[in-house]
Amino acid sequence: MSDDWQCVIWSDKSSFTLLPVSDWVVVGKTLKEPNDPECLVPTAKYGGGSVMIWAAIYWYSAGLRITLKGRITASDYADTLGSQLHPLVQMLFLTMM
């Protein structure tokens, strides 16, 4: 196996909505039928919020896991990569040289 894989960092992100924010929910029932509790969906009045999980893994470890709360802009994401991933790269790969 090549030692090149020891110099690779994989990173990815996933975003999760905590509660739906839409006022529209489609339920198939007639007007005369009572509301079935299984058809009720909790909603949030002023946005349900979201959470983004960003993680990096590399040869030696599962790496960093960072939780970013609220709305994340491209600038926020770039700042996170710069402040979190860049020091990790320096620590891992500059010591290997």
Q: What residues does each domain of the chain span? A: 3-22+43-94
Question: Whole-angstrom Cα distance, residue 8 to residue 77?
Answer: 20
Question: Residue 81: pLDDT band by 50, 70, 90 thresholds?
Answer: confident
Q: Greatest CA span in the chain, whole angstroms?
A: 74
Helix, strand or coil, per DSSP, at residue 65: strand
pLDDT in tens, 26-77: 667 777 888 777 777 666 666 667 788 888 888 878 878 888 877 778 898 8
Q: Please tell me which residue, 44 or 90, carries the higher pLDDT value.
A: 90
pTM for this one? 0.55
Question: Whole-angstrom Cα distance, residue 7 to residue 1?
Answer: 13
The pLDDT score that the predictor gives to residue 86 is: 84
CA atoms within 13 A on the CB side of 7: 8
Residue 66's beta-bridge partner residues?
A: 54
